[in-house]
Amino acid sequence: MKLVKSAALAAAIAFVSTAGASAESLKIAFIDPLSGPFGPSGQAGLNEWNYAAAQINAKGGVGGQEVEIIGLDNKVNPKESLVQLQKAIDQGVRFIAQGNGSSVASALIDAIEKHNKRNPGQEVLFINYAAVDPAFTNERCNFWHFRFDADADMKMEAVTDWVKGQDSIKKVYIIGQDYSFGKAVAAAAVKNLGEKRPDIEIVGNELHPLGKVKDFTPYIQKIISSGADAIITGNWGADMVLMIKAAIDSGYKGPILTYYGGSKGAATAMGAAAVGQVKAIVEHNTNLQLSDAQTAYVDGYEAAYPEDNYYYHRIHNAMNMLAMAADKAGSTEPKAIAFALEGMTYEGPTGTLTMREDNHQILQPLFMSTFSDNVTRGVEKLPLGWVSGDADRIEADATRTETTCKMERPS
Amino acid sequence: METIVFSLLNGVIYGLLLFMLSSGLTLIFSMMGVLNFAHASFYMLGAYFAYTISDASSFWLALVFAPILVGLVGAAVERWGLRTVHVNGHVAELLFTFGLAYLIDEVVKIIWGRNAVDYQIPELLDFPLFELFGAQYPAYRIFTLFVALAMLVALWFILNRTRAGLIIQAALSHPHMVGHLGHNVPRIFMTVFGVGCALAGLAGVIGGNYLVTDPAMAVQMGPIVFVVVVVGGLGSLMGAFLAAMLLGLLQTFAVAIDANFADMFGWLGLSPTSEVGRISIASLAPMIPFLMLVLILMVRPRGLLGDREL
């Protein structure tokens, strides 16, 4: 009986405290992997959200409200994510941030749309900072979803533009993770190469299971015996680290064109052997010539989280645009913020960013980065890092792709 | 041709690594009846110890001392943990090792962080040994092969040709009789548990830089090791060896084969564009261990060479 009483009391206190907190703080639920093979990727994301929140709070928060990040582990599992989403909504959270895994994003988009339809006045906004399946801003576009990362097609445009100028590349091997994102990358690669370099032969187009392969050597040996001059991959997390390690160990010499060569742990696995060989298409790297303010921001992050490197610049962008939207709307209601975000431009550290009104896709400058040993700022405590020259900058407008989105807006 | 050569090499090495891991588990399982859920965690500990030792001194010291350290940790766990839990029956022991696995996981995360550590191959072995069909074959892989073989021979010799092995084998099947003969059975158990863990630790030392040393390595390896033990048959080292090799070879061959269901079952009218026909053999590789587990439990529940039902 005593137990029941104290439990009830605890529940009451918990309820009162959350109710009290929600009156003054703006809560963002971060639903991403915080354990397992993709745990490091998710944890780094959470750290940057927390840092971005602390920075924006120091400047007065979002719409005058203090931002609070709630980290929820979904183990890159869509089903688990929906449980966490419900948990977040029950706590009164109105903003969801997620990025690792388009499979998860897909489930969240559907669930949030349903929730918003059924609960007018209680809408939830989805801030997608890394799930890049192009479908989300095309045939499956949704008013409540905003993407702050370039989608798989936009990144592939940049990658294939680089390949276009490399006459020595005659054979390309495409390898990726077996889910919607990996398939999107492969499809984009095949399409773009066919248009830009029809002479290139695609000697392999393979998908491997997500997060389950421990030794990529058999895949790499297959790639080498196919005679490929370049590898294109969208792999991230452990799949990136292990694949690149196997490639270096097996003496693969051609360029490896990645989306997420900056995945945590990859630099360590690559070591000096991969210098000049691995490239990544990103919205930011820490060796760009940027303003002092941005340098201080990066320094502050790396001092606060010494085991991390600044990587998800798009989180910084998302947080700042959220604050701008709240100011513009004069409200922190998700619906008002969503309308304010549409078409909004933001002068970010890397240039001007625009949130497209027609499909809620961000346009931002992209950089083709190369793994280098000539860096001012290394990653993972190594004298190695990512650099890009002037020619490697792709202007925001040049990344624009056609969209099939027919946005339905709430009245 | 190159596919076959590479797959054979990779398969044998992966199989031997699996065997190194599962031999300890089989020994412990058959002797004490404890399904040690934390076994893969000792594998992880081996890798982390080796990382720390080789960072401070050299890989070769790590190769010797990391397994010993892991063995000592294992022995301590048996002496002060399992033995006390033992009186409460197998379920308690099972839960104990289950909890231990989580505990080790968390401790590893606290000490070494949540990310992969830079546990590198020793410089002495960091060169391509030979080149086959354009792909280099790292010397370290062949070194792994020899370490595993040496361990295999040593284990076989101890169990079959020494007095200690004789007592262990006797204690496996008739612990009370061995006790009555004046042997200290709890100490034998402790030793076997320690040695079993040390073997897992050794697998960690050479597997940690062959694969990746991160806090997820135990969780990833755990289920596969159980498959090896069950498929091989409880209490049978030979069975575990066969199962490990079979698994290693099947998995690597599956990855290397460039075919899909339509290529194999096209004669049944399966089209390459259909949902089923598109599935490639390579994508099935991670499923193979569990498919094997299910099949073996259906067809031959005591495993390939086991002498006991589960």
Q: Is B282 a domain residue? A: no
Interface test with B, best of A179, A212, A221, A381 (most B CBs within 10 A): A221
> CA nearest B253 in A: which residue?
A218
Number of domains present in the structure of chain A:
2
Q: Is A288 a domain residue? A: no
pLDDT at residue B237 tops 90: no
For chain A, what percentages of helix, strand and coil (3-state, to nearest 5) are there? 45, 20, 35
Q: Is A181 a domain residue? A: yes
A123 and A248 in one domain?
no
Pairing of strands A125-128, A145-147: parallel
> CB–CB of A300/A56 below 8 Å?
no
Q: Is B117 a domain residue? A: yes
In the numeric block, the tokens 């360029």 are attached to: A255
Exposed/middle/buried for residue B182 (C-beta within 10 Å: 0-12, 13-18, 19+): exposed
**A98 - beta bridge partners?**
A128
A319 and A193 in one domain?
no
Q: How far is CA B160 from CA A126, A176, B24, B157, B174, in A?
A: 64, 48, 16, 5, 17
SS3 A148: coil
A335 and A248 in one domain?
no
Question: In chain B, which ranges are continuous DSSP H helix?
Answer: 2-32, 39-56, 59-77, 83-86, 90-112, 139-161, 163-173, 175-180, 185-208, 217-232, 237-256, 261-265, 288-299
Interface test with B, best of A46, A205, A217 (most B CBs within 10 A): A217
Among A316, A318, A400, A320, smallest CA distance to A145 is for: A318
> CA nearest B112 in A: which residue?
A307
A97 and A29 in one domain?
yes
- Mean pLDDT, all residues of chain B: 84
> CB–CB of B286/A209 below 8 Å?
yes
Separation CA A234–CA A229 (nearest Å): 17
Structural domain that includes position B199 = 2-215
Q: Is A273 a domain residue? A: yes
Q: How far is CA B245 from CA A408, B82, B148, B252, in A?
A: 57, 31, 12, 11
* Residues of chain A below pLDDT 50: 1-4, 7, 9-23
ipTM attached to this prediction: 0.73
User: Which residue type is seen at A195?
Assistant: E
A264 and A246 in one domain?
yes
Distance from CA of B194 to the nearest CA of A (A): 27
A16 and A124 in one domain?
yes
A195 and A185 in one domain?
yes
Number of domains present in the structure of chain B:
1
CATH number where A391 lies: 3.40.50.2300
Across the A:B interface, residue pairs with CB atoms under 8 Å apart total: 102
pLDDT computed for residue B169 by the predictor: 78
Interface test with A, best of B6, B105, B109, B115 (most A CBs within 10 A): B115
Tell whether A357 lies on the interface with B, counting CB pairs under 8 A. no
Extract the tokens encoding A395: 């202007």
Mark A251-264 as b/e (b = at least 16 C-beta within 10 Å).
Answer: bbebbbbbbbbbbb
User: Which residue type is seen at A95?
Assistant: F
Q: Note the pLDDT tens digit of each residue in B145-194.
A: 899 889 888 988 888 888 888 888 787 677 788 888 888 888 888 888 89
pLDDT at residue B264 tops 80: no
Q: Do B282 and A208 lie within an 8 Å CB cutoff?
A: yes
Q: Note the pLDDT tens digit of each residue in A195-227.
A: 999 999 999 898 888 877 878 888 898 898 888
- Contact residues for A6 (Cβ-Cβ < 8 A; gap 6+): none
Residues of A in contact with B280 (CB under 8 A): 206-207
> CB–CB of A152/A132 below 8 Å?
yes
Q: Is B255 a domain residue? A: no
With a CB-CB cutoff of 8 Å, which residues 80-139 of chain B face chain A? 113-118, 120, 128, 131, 133-138
In the β-sheet with A345-348, what is the strand arrangement from edge to edge? A345-348, A351-355, A362-363
Among B40, B8, B72, smallest CA distance to B207 is for: B40
Neighbour tally for A195: CB within 10 Å: 10
pLDDT computed for residue B99 by the predictor: 93
A394 and A359 in one domain?
no
pLDDT computed for residue A233 by the predictor: 95
A274 and A315 in one domain?
no
> CA nearest A41 in B: which residue?
B115
Q: Note the pLDDT tens digit of each residue in B7-34.
A: 888 889 889 988 988 888 888 887 777 7
**B128 - beta bridge partners?**
B138
A54 and A15 in one domain?
yes
Q: Note the pLDDT tens digit of each residue in B34-55.
A: 788 899 999 999 999 999 999 8
In the β-sheet with A125-128, what is the strand arrangement from edge to edge? A66-73, A25-32, A95-98, A125-128, A145-147
Among B201, B208, B244, B199, smallest CA distance to B226 is for: B244
Q: Is B221 a domain residue? A: no
pLDDT computed for residue A332 by the predictor: 93
A322 and A273 in one domain?
no
A375 and A240 in one domain?
yes
Q: Is A406 a domain residue? A: no
Mark B247-265 as b/e (b = at least 16 C-beta within 10 Å).
Answer: bbbbbbbbbbbeebbbeee
Separation CA B211–CA B190 (nearest Å): 30
pLDDT computed for residue B270 by the predictor: 67
Q: Is B266 a domain residue? A: no
Tell whether A76 lies on the interface with B, counting CB pairs under 8 A. no
SS3 A206: strand
Structural domain that includes position A63 = 2-150+293-364
Counts for chain B of helices (H) and strands (E), in that order: 13, 2
Q: Is B176 a domain residue? A: yes
Q: Is B279 a domain residue? A: no
